[in-house]
Amino acid sequence: MVSPGSVGVVRTHNRPRLVLASASPARRKLLQAAGIEPEVLVSGVDESAVEAATAEELCLTLARLKAEAVRQPDALVLGCDSVLAFEGEILGKPADADEATKRWLRMRGRSGVLHTGHCLIDGNQKEGNSRAEAVAKTTVYFADVSDAEIAAYVATGEPLLVAGAFTIDGIGGAFVERVEGDHGNVIGLSLPLLRRLLGELGYSITDLWRR
């Protein structure tokens, strides 16, 4: 795990390749907006086959499996996975529109904690530590939306594509009153946490910036 404020011993080297082991366009856009142009390799990990006792354990296990699945010998590989912890349940992507509707009927006016596991593997390292991982958590407060609003939102199809059946960077953003924690983490990737993971492996996030 990463200790707050620690960025490790940063060494000087050429800009490394960053491979994003995710099909999520939102994660890619977050990196691009931060000056980082990742390569994308979809892991193909069957998320439904993985079980865990807690949201933290599940998202970190999935992030690790995704990163390991596309590990490259000459690149940094980042795996991420998000789940919502709500009233003792672990919520990933809803199976269908009916499930998405039932979730929103429960979540409206309440809050949940969005967990995103991050696993960074350094294929350039031949010795010593080659993996850093941690979980970012953000509390999400949902608006007390009406039945009609829920029906209209589910009809867009957006809730079926994302963990917890909501987004804050799309149509569903109007249905989130506020968040406590990293806004980017709810979208799918915490840039401050990525910076710390890079530091654990001896890199600076500035090494990844486009030049």
The tens digit of pLDDT for each residue in 27-53 reads: 999 999 999 999 999 988 887 788 899
Whole-number pLDDT of residue 127: 63
Return the domain boundaries, the chain.
Answer: 18-208
- From 161, 76, 87, 171, select the one nearest 119 (Cα to Cα): 76
Burial class of 17 by CB neighbour count within 10 A (0 to 12, 13 to 18, 19+): middle
pTM of the full structure: 0.90
Whether the Cβ atoms of residue 58 and residue 82 lie closer than 8 Å to each other = no
Task: Give catalytic residues, as residue numbers.
Answer: 81
The H or E element spanning position 194 is helix 191-200
The tens digit of pLDDT for each residue in 149-185 reads: 999 999 999 999 999 999 999 999 999 999 999 999 9
CATH topology classification for 18-208: Maf protein (3.90.950)
Whether the Cβ atoms of residue 89 and residue 102 lie closer than 8 Å to each other = no
